[in-house]
Chains A and B, each alone.
Chain A
Amino acid sequence: MSDRNLTFVRSEMLPAREPPTNQFGIVKLLREKLFNNWLSALLTVASLIVLVWIAGSLSPWLFNSVWSANSLSECRQILGGAEGACLAVIRDRWTQLLFGFYPPAQYWRPVLAFVLMLVAMAPILFPPVPRRLLWFSAVFPGLAYWLIWGGTLWLPVSAYAGLAVGGVVLRLTTRLGSGVAVGLAFAGALAWGFLASGLVTTVIEQLLPLSLPAVTSREMGGFLLSIVIGVTGISLSLPLGIVLALGRRSTMPLVKTVSVVFIEFIRGVPLITLLFTASLLLNYFLPPGTNFDLILRVIIMVTLFATAYMAEVIRGGLAALPRGQYEAAEALGLDYWKAQRLVIMPQALKISIPGIVNSFIGLFKDTTLVVFIGLLDPIALSNSIRATTDWQGIYWELFIFIGGLFFIFCFSMSRYSMHLERRLKTDHR
């Protein structure tokens, strides 16, 4: 007989206890991350010294800043040789950086459009906002166009009427098969645009004039331009990217080939090339005398460019979904479009959020490239401000202002995407 007893029976189960206190909070941070051993302690101290040094050398420049002066030389006079930022240039020219050469008496229009844009985005971005507000989101693009470019209100209204015509045609012809119906609806909307729209707009405008002073695209610039191009590009590239990603995964050879060729072509060409195409080459191809707005052309090119990237990002999300999700949706009898809309896309888009927002941010910053085709983005305006005798030689202040504003927009997008990822996190991994 062995004297070791191998039997063990637990008479009562152990309750859960509090973890040891040094495993949490500031104590854990200090012990494990900052002063773990002598090397990390050394690095912590060194980093602190660098931070203090940077703050110390930047602060006089910022705290000595001059806000009221009419030129750079006046700024220097006030500073009297000391280091300091000449932020007076921002105070003097901020409206130009925001609006370009938009008529100052009409500044309220883009500002109102911007505020309304926030309202229109709210129900899309934040679910607690009532869904009923979505009708405003639908109306907003036309309203914003009218506010920013001016002219008659009946033009955007007529564009919506064209959409309605397309919708009605789609309803009526849907029995003929979805492909045919979509084609006919498209044709109907185009027919409205080319045949009826102009006449109807003119007639109604005479009966009931509702117009704002027109502002041409040439007069627009600065962040107004960046936001118009960026927001339009962003809101169009996502749906188009989804369609293209589905097209690339389609089993129909024609659809697949068209999608692949489009994506590979657009991705293989620098954006600048596309922008030059928009500004120069289209003039040769379009019939002479066509008045095709430059900003509209740029928006189309930027959107196509972003769409190609978006499609690949979303395709990545689609590829990451297990095959079983498609099978479960199919087995329940959901058809292709319902399965995509209700089961596949919500998950694929969620997976792709970081990539999607990455593309959005890239697109928004790429709007500064329009400087090369003669549009006045904020960078172009900083050049023209520097070209005046008053502000010749001023760099940092303008770039910091422009960079700061871009940062605010991009950082908000980034924060929103993180919020969205948290909100949609349901897998509890």
Chain B
Amino acid sequence: MELNLETEIDRSRMRVSEQVAIRIEDMNKWYGTFHVLRDINLTVRRGERIVIAGPSGSGKSTMIRCINRLEEHQAGKIVVDGIELSSDLKNIDKVRSEVGMVFQHFNLFPHLTILENCTLAPIWVREIPRREAIETAMHFLEKVKIPEQANKYPGQLSGGQQQRVAIARSLCMKPRIMLFDEPTSALDPEMIKEVLDTMIELAEEGMTMLCVTHEMGFAQAVANRVIFMDQGQIVEENNPHDFFNNPQSERTRLFLSQILRH
């Protein structure tokens, strides 16, 4: 699983600052009586690019979905950009407008055009004028290299194009943190690269990113930290070089041997 990166990655702006973007302390979550997340502790600094890996059912998606409160945690503390997530709806909305999210199945709004998908939240949540929202949307659509599709509907686009629109849609809210929940898992191999390229570009600009992904090539090239999760807990956390070449935990070694064998 080697990602063939034709373009050299520009690391000049990929700087990790001292500022804390996300702090998770002793976070626990249950689905009914099932303990999905156990004692999660994680501090993400501004500008960090973290890849979260692990077998299916290990709780990695659930963890990042807790960060923008798509899932509720029952114990512990999550602080995003200085705002603590609690049941206070105002805080939740504030956090959500700071944190962008990209889903496995894109979740574009099929009844709106690409442009409308991108301008909806800026107009209705940020309350910026329509014209300005359109300008921003076109800027980001150009960035993900599909401005010519602006007036089409999501159903007319390929999977890779839809995912790039989803990224642009999130970016239109000018988020300070981006969450990616298996963004390439539902894509054909040919389309994975176009999405990863977009994500790499984002990383080069210094975006704080948390990616749940199985793209180990992407992890090696872009991440500054890889987190391995199993059975609802963080099993290993390391820089990519050591994570792939010198994994400490037996479970990690087994996982890597499974996915890197081919």
Contacts and interface: CB of A to CB of B under 8 A. Distances in A.
A342 B119 CA distance: 12
A94 to B, nearest CB: 44
Interface stretch (A160-168, A303-311, A327-335, A367-375): A327-335
Contacts of A324: 103, 105, 107
B97 interface: yes
B70 A327 contact: yes
Contacts of B244: none
Contacts of A342: 120, 124
A255 to B, nearest CB: 16
A424 interface: yes
B121 A334 contact: yes
B155 interface: yes
A217 interface: no
B137 interface: no
A332 B173 contact: yes
Interface stretch (A189-197, A278-286, A343-351): A343-351
Given A342-B120, A428-B155, A428-B156, A330 B70 contact: yes
Interface string B155-193: 110000000000001100100000000000000000000
B111 A424 contact: yes
Contact of B111 (A329, A330, A332, A347): A347
Interface string A405-429: 0000000000000000000101111
B101 A331 contact: yes
Given A324-B105, A342-B120, A342-B124, A331 B70 contact: yes
Nearest to B96: A333
Contact of A325 (B101, B109, B121, B156): B109
B186 to A, nearest CB: 11
Interface string B90-129: 0001001101110101011111000000001100110000
Contacts of A331: 68, 70, 96, 99-101, 103, 170
Nearest to B90: A335
Given A338-B125, A347-B111, A332 B155 contact: no
A332 B169 contact: yes
* Candidate in B93, B96, B110, B170 with the most chain A CB atoms within 10 angstroms: B110
Contacts, number: 70
Contacts of B109: 325, 328-329, 343, 347
Contact of A332 (B110, B121, B153): B121
Contact of A350 (B93, B111, B173): B111
Contact of A328 (B97, B107, B125, B173): B107
Q: Is the interface of A mostly helix, strand, loop or mixed?
A: helix
A338 B124 contact: yes
Contacts of B111: 346-347, 350, 424, 426
A332 B118 CA distance: 10
A31 B152 CA distance: 38
B96 A332 contact: yes
Contact of B110 (A334, A338, A426): A426
A328 B99 CA distance: 12
Contact of B120 (A322, A332, A347): A332
B110 A427 contact: yes
Interface in A336-392: 338, 342-343, 346-347, 350
B155 A333 contact: no
A428 B97 contact: no
B73 to A, nearest CB: 16
B155 A429 contact: yes
A354 to B, nearest CB: 17
Contacts of B89: 335
A424 B156 CA distance: 14
A212 B121 CA distance: 50
Contacts of A428: 153, 155-156
A342 B112 CA distance: 10
A277 B72 CA distance: 47
Given A332-B125, A334-B121, A327 B107 contact: yes
Interface in A287-337: 322, 324-325, 327-335
Nearest to B110: A427
B135 to A, nearest CB: 18
A327 B64 CA distance: 13
Contacts of B107: 322, 324-325, 327-328
A333 to B, nearest CB: 4
Nearest to A424: B111
Contacts of B153: 426-428
A333 B173 CA distance: 9
Closest 10 CB pairs of A and B: A328-B107, A333-B97, A428-B155, A332-B121, A324-B107, A331-B101, A333-B96, A426-B153, A333-B125, A427-B155
Interface of B: 68, 70, 89, 93, 96-97, 99-101, 103, 105, 107-111, 120-121, 124-125, 153, 155-156, 169-170, 173
Given A328-B108, A333-B121, A427-B155, 16 more contacts: A324-B103, A325-B107, A328-B107, A331-B70, A331-B100, A331-B103, A331-B170, A332-B121, A332-B170, A332-B173, A338-B125, A342-B124, A426-B110, A427-B110, A428-B155, A428-B156
22 contacts: A322-B105, A322-B107, A324-B103, A324-B105, A325-B107, A327-B107, A328-B101, A328-B107, A328-B108, A329-B109, A331-B70, A332-B96, A332-B97, A333-B93, A333-B121, A334-B124, A338-B124, A338-B125, A347-B110, A347-B111, A424-B111, A426-B153
